[in-house]
Structure 1
Amino acid sequence: MFFLHLAGLYRVVGGIVSPVSDGYGKQGLVASKHRIAMARLALQSSDWVSVDDWESQQSDWTETVVTMRYHYGRITAQYQQRIRERKDPPTENSGEPLLKLLCGADFMETFKVPGLWRDDHIAEVVGRFGLVCVSRGTLLPDQTIHESDLLARHRRNISLVREWVQNEISATEVRRALRRGYSVKYLLPDSVIDYIKENNLYTQDSEMKNKEITLRPLTKQTIQD
């Protein structure tokens, strides 16, 4: 948010956390009801980031672009309603709301995985909506863009954020620590740690869930093709 404000191009008015559906099929993915609850606990003190459960409530995994279409439609409808009610009249510098996908450099690397993304979906996510990509470790998002004709075509719609204070904490490492019984104090809010303990999440057994299942994006795209 600070980066976009500092660039002077956007005024960020909100953020959305949208947990994936249980149908995603990722190994170790805990039930959506728990992921929704933990996200809401973690964001209790935030006055601009909210948790939306639409995606997680779908019976099947939904493509990222489908989820973005849903949220954009909802946001646009709310904006137009406020204009009609004159609660938030547009100013000279205001315009239609924009929706961008915030991701890490490791997420951008998934565009390279054969069969994981459809080209038309990448084009819509990046070209129609836009990406805000945060650096991560030694990954080179600039190089990823350079090596992809599709991403290079929409380069102006990709904002690269360089994190000068390195933070290598990841969800994978936190889950590994929990699985091994290590302390995650100060890595997660206390309320989330308590919830994990109360519901016995991220154990050796739970990490085996979906082990034999193929990731849903790979099978769904094959069917559509």
Structure 2
Amino acid sequence: MTENAKTHVILLSCGSFNPITKGHIHMFEKAREYLHKTGRFIVIGGIISPVHDSYGKPGLVPSKHRLTMCQLAVQSSDWIRVDPWECYQQTWQTTCSVLEHHRDLMKRVTGCILSNVNTPSSTPVIGQPQNQAPPVYQNHNNLANKPTAVKLLGKVSESLGKMCCARPSMDRFTFIGETHTHTHTHTNQLRILLLCGSDLLESFCIPGLWKDSDMEVIVGDFGIVVVPRDGADTERIMNHSSVLRKHTENILMVKDDVNHPMSIVSSTKSRLALQHGDGHVVDYLNQPVIDYILQTQLYITASG
């Protein structure tokens, strides 16, 4: 299949990211790898969209911290970006609304996938926190490759365009599901897929948790990419939801090793490790994220 014949994909992940873990980044990498292996898709970008503060989840730290941690976690990625749109709305937004926002945004900006177009000047600056004392938790194997604030901010300054958008080399996109009355010689299909773990997929089966109309839009109009987590039985989950069974063709199950260390990493485990002074937190979180948490004293006590 030629590149023009493949569907170009943006992976969008919604969630608390409280804090963002290595497992979240692993999901993006495994999903892109799997989609490319199918020969039907080209992943041209990834978007992390942290939830609004009013979501009401116990222990949710303010979005200014979660945005900064997310930005630190992907500072070395050339394709994953953090989008603050959800956090800057007046109130909590549904996953369906977030997907529709990004679809409409991409339609308005021809050939340019903007991630931070609505970012106000108060958005946290991507930067490496500078600590006077060495971190309590530190992965010494990665110290040699740890970027300094000067290097990182210089990189951002030099490639601001890249930080804001990913520009695929194509004439135009046709969004999946759109009907056009005119044709073009070079038309590429663009699709926004919701990236999630099997735990979110399982939540679709909980009566009353999701609106049926929202599930129809998420799975039917957009589609989802599911990365297995903690040995979940995805086939059993699929059989428990009529909406999931109805739109099986729009659900892409990543063939990942269920015993992979990253499949059991979670934000909850990371917070507990921080509260208990567990050095294994370096297995859960990237070093810049750990540095920021220690600098701001997030999650260190059970109440935070």
- Please give the TM-score of this superposition, normalised by the length of structure 1: 0.84
2:214 is the alignment partner of 1:121: yes
SS of equivalent residue, structure 1 residue 50: strand
**Aligned residue-pair number:** 203
Deviation readout 1:89-144 (Å, 9 max, x if unpaired): 24967523110000000111111223221001001000000000011123112211
Match of 2:61 in 1: 30
Instruction: Give, as a single letter, the amino acid of the residue that structure 1 aligns with 2:230.
Output: G
2:110 is the alignment partner of 1:79: yes
Q: 1:88 to 1:118 in 2, by over 3 A?
A: same
2:90 is the alignment partner of 1:59: yes
Tell me, yes or no, if the aligned pair for 1:30 and 1:206 is still in contact at 8 Å: no
> Which of the numbers 250, 253, 260 marks the counterpart of 1:166?
260
State the 1:196 CA deviation.
0.2
2:275 is the alignment partner of 1:179: yes
2:292 is the alignment partner of 1:195: yes
Question: Distance in 1 between the 2:186 and 2:38 partners?
Answer: 16
**Where do 5+ consecutive residues of structure 2 fail to align?**
1-31, 114-168, 173-183
Match of 2:171 in 1: 89
Identity of aligned residues (%): 38
> Which of the numbers 30, 33, 45 marks the counterpart of 2:76?
45
> Which of the numbers 145, 161, 171 marks the counterpart of 2:238?
145
5-14 or 87-96: bigger deviation: 87-96
Tell me, yes or no, if the aligned pair for 1:104 and 1:134 is still in contact at 8 Å: yes
The structure 1 segments of at least 4 consecutive aligned residues displaced by more than 6 Å after TM superposition are: none
Tell me, yes or no, if the aligned pair for 2:51 and 2:92 is still in contact at 8 Å: yes
52-61 or 180-189: bigger deviation: 180-189
**Where do 5+ consecutive residues of structure 1 fail to align?**
208-225
Deviation readout 1:162-186 (Å, 9 max, x if unpaired): 2115221111111110111222224
- Please give the TM-score of this superposition, normalised by the length of structure 2: 0.63
Question: Distance in 2 between the 1:79 and 1:102 partners?
Answer: 23
